């Protein structure tokens, strides 16, 4: 199996779909000759030309709206936000137009909006955010957050094939740091199926995106203390794999919900509440949540470290839970 970085895997998936389906096209700022700010789309223009790898003016509302219209016409646009933070500029088009067209008149809108999210690179307040909560709260949208290279490919393909608008949140810290075996050619990871990232006995850690790796790191440290973490990588938040989560919770009886986005209103609250509603009698302790702080993402490295959840936070909370 070819080894690819997370970034290459995303591109491999997009390329695969562009070859398979002439209605798939890429659109965004400097996605063509420049190859995108992080080079996710580099080289696609050479194979598919300017009509299918379209550079846009700096106009998020405009080009997201145009992609929605093209999706109505039967195309399958893959829109790049240069940084996911700029998706706020297209919020109306996404939440009011794309999300509701099927509800209002049965109009499908097969659209993917993807881009680099997340922190850890000193991006500061406008280049580090994890905006999944804004979108999980809007019915009609699906939300995907891959953690591994293989999933990055399998999920982008599933997202492109999905007949609904999908927000696909890549993690910029993982782009070149995560590298794994990725099946070549056709490879689909269905939305709504979580992945057991690590089997364990004592505590279920429910997480997604870059935090999967932070949790694995913590699990390694805790193994020595005899605390065994089971790590579930949700992979997609809408829909999310309630079955796998409940099965794990019923096995371990203790849960940490972990995410990189800030605490209040974070999707962790949803997961946590679902677990207490549906598996209360299996719980041997409170469902604990670990997240970023309720502040904007700071620029300065020590501030950003304090802001983002770290492996030592998971270790600390796991010990507390284990002793509960």
Partner 1 sequence: MLLDSHTARAWYRQMRLIRVFEERAAQEYAKGHIGGFCHLYIGQEAVAVGAFAALQPQDHIITHYREHGHAIARGMDINGVMAELFGKATGVTGGRGGSMHLVDKDLHFWGGHAIVGGHLPIATGIAFGLKQQGGDGVVLCIFGDGASNIGMFHESLNLAAVWKLPVIFLCENNRYGMGTAVARASAVTNIRDKAQAYNIPGTDVDGQDPEAVYETMQNAVSHARAGKGPVLVEAETYRFVGHSMGDPERYRTKEERKEWQDHGDPINRFRRSLEERAIVTAEEFAGMDAEVDQQVEAAARFAHESPFPAGETLHRHIYVESAGGQP
CA distances from 40 to 48, 56, 160, 183 (A): 15, 16, 16, 18
Q: Which of 84, 298, 314, 318 binds partner 1 (CB under 8 A)?
A: 298
Phi then psi for residue 124, to 5 deg, are 80, -175
x/- letters, 3..42, toward ligand TPP (CB under 6 A): --------------------------x-------------
DSSP state of 81: P
Residue 91 binds ligand TPP, judged by CB under 6 A = no
Residue 266 binds partner 1, judged by CB under 8 A = no
Binding-site partner at residue 246 among partner 1, ligand TPP, none, CB < 5 to 8 Å by type: none
Residue 305 binds partner 1, judged by CB under 8 A = yes
Give CA–CA dist 1/18, Å, rounded: 21
Which of 55/180 has CB closer to partner 1? 55
127 included as an active-site residue: yes
Which of 63/208 has CB closer to partner 1? 63
3-class state of residue 153 by DSSP = helix
Which class for 57: exposed (0-12), middle (13-18), buried (19 or more C-beta within 10 A)? exposed
Give CA–CA dist 81/88, Å, rounded: 10
Nearest CA-CA partner of 116 in 217, 5, 38, 47: 38
Q: Which of 100, 102, 121, 285 binds partner 1 (CB under 8 A)?
A: 121
Q: Which two tokens stand for residue 322?
A: 């284990």
Give CA–CA dist 62/69, Å, rounded: 11
Residue 89 binds ligand TPP, judged by CB under 6 A = yes
- Give catalytic residue positions: 127
Q: Which residues bind ligand TPP (CB under 6 A)?
A: 29, 58, 60, 82, 86, 89
Q: Given the rule CB under 8 A, which residues bind partner 1? A: 29-30, 33-34, 37, 55-62, 85-86, 88-89, 121-127, 293-296, 298-303, 305-307
């Amino acid at each position: 199996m070819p080894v690819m970085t997370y970034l290459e895997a995303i591109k491999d998936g997009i390329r695969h779909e562009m070859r398979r389906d002439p209605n798939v096209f890429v659109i965004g700022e400097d996605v063509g000759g420049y190859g995108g700010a992080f080079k996710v789309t580099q080289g696609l223009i050479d194979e598919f030309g300017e009509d299918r790898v379209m550079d846009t003016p700096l106009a998020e509302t405009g080009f997201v709206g145009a992609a929605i219209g093209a999706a109505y016409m039967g195309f399958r646009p893959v829109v790049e936000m240069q940084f996911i933070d700029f998706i706020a500029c297209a919020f109306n088009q996404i939440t009011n137009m794309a999300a509701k067209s099927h509800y209002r008149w049965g109009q499908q809108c097969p659209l993917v909006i993807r881009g680099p999210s997340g922190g850890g690179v000193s991006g500061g307040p406008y280049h580090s955010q994890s905006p999944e909560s804004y979108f999980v709260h809007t019915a009609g949208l699906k939300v995907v957050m891959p953690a591994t290279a293989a999933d990055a490919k399998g999920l982008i393909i599933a997202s492109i094939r999905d007949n609904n608008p999908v927000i696909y949140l890549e993690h910029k810290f993982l782009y070149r740091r995560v590298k794994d075996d990725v099946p070549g050619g056709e490879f689909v990871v269905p939305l709504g199926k979580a992945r057991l990232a690590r089997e364990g006995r004592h505590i279920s850690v429910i997480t997604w995106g870059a935090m999967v790796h932070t949790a694995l790191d913590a699990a390694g440290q805790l193994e020595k203390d005899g605390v065994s973490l089971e790590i579930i990588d949700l992979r997609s938040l809408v829909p999310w794999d309630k079955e796998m989560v409940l099965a794990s919770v019923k096995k371990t009886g203790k849960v940490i919900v972990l995410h990189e986005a800030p605490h209040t209103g974070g999707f962790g609250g949803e997961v946590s509440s679902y677990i207490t509603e549906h598996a209360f009698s299996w719980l041997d302790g409170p469902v604990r949540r670990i997240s970023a702080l309720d502040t904007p993402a700071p620029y300065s490295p020590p501030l950003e470290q304090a802001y983002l959840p770290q492996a030592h936070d998971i270790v600390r909370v796991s010990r507390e839970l284990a002793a509960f």
